Amino acid sequence: MKRKNVDNYDVFYCSQVLLDDLFFFSNS
């Protein structure tokens, strides 16, 4: 059972992971 705040947290976490990947690729 997913609540709204859980969905928002998932979106935030996924965006952080994507940003970390972009940062890593831009430095490599």
- The C-alpha atoms of residue 8 and residue 16 are separated, in whole angstroms, by 12
Over residues 9-28, the mean pLDDT reads 87
Question: Is it the case that residue 3 has pLDDT exceeding 70?
Answer: no
Q: Helix, strand, or coil here: 17?
A: helix
Domain ranges for the chain, please list them: 1-28
Binned at pLDDT 50, 70 and 90, residue 9 comes out as: confident
pLDDT winner (highest mean) among 2-6, 9-13, 15-19: 15-19
Q: How large a percentage of the chain has pLDDT more than 70?
A: 79
- pTM of the prediction? 0.48
What's the whole-number average pLDDT of the chain? 81
